[in-house]
Amino acid sequence: MITNTLKSLLAAICLGMFFYTGSVFGFSLGHFLLPILALAIIISIVYKPLALPINHLCKGVGILSLLSFLLLMLAGTMGGSFHLSPSNQVIATLLAGIALFGLTSFFWSEKIMPAHNK
């Protein structure tokens, strides 16, 4: 139950990141991986055989988002004092949300259905 809620929140934040960064930077071909990821996460809630690969994918997305967030914070310190533009503040918030909910995938319990005997 809680796993499905965390998956839904991660998918929602990925869609939010897609629309916001698309409006700021423009849409590109690689940019469309975010809604595909969000759709795959939502499908994994219903279609259980997809749950384990999506779990591993969310772990990777959480780690990459955390590293991106840390690099953005490091870039904000350039020039001797910390400053982020308003658009970078929103992106930092979305990256932190993706990192937070993506890293919770380390604790998701996915029940593997046993194979049917033939």
Please check whether residue 113 lies inside any domain of the structure: no
Higher pLDDT among residues 108 and 113, named by residue: 108
pLDDT tens-digit series, residues 4-50: 899 999 999 999 999 999 999 888 888 899 999 999 999 998 988 88
Please report whether residue 114 resides in a domain.
no
112 lies in a domain?
no
In this prediction, residue 42 carries a pLDDT of 94
pLDDT of residue 70: 95
Taking the C-alpha atoms of residue 70 and residue 89, their distance in angstroms, rounded to an integer, is 13
Confirm whether 37 is domain-assigned. Answer: yes
Q: Residue 13's pLDDT is what?
A: 95
Higher pLDDT, 79 or 96: 96
Residue 115 lies in a domain: no
Domain around 101? 2-107
Residue 105 clears pLDDT 90, i.e. is over it? no
The predicted structure's pLDDT at residue 118? 47
- For the record, the structure tokens of 83 come out as 């400053």
Q: How far is CA 106 from the centre of its chain?
A: 13
The answer to whether 102 touches 59, Cβ cutoff 8 Å, is yes
Nearest to 109 by CA among 63, 57, 58, 55: 55
Which tokens go with 1?
A: 């139950």
Closest Cα to residue 18, out of 103, 95, 75, 100? 95
Domain count, the chain: 1
- Percentage of residues in the chain having pLDDT higher than 70: 92
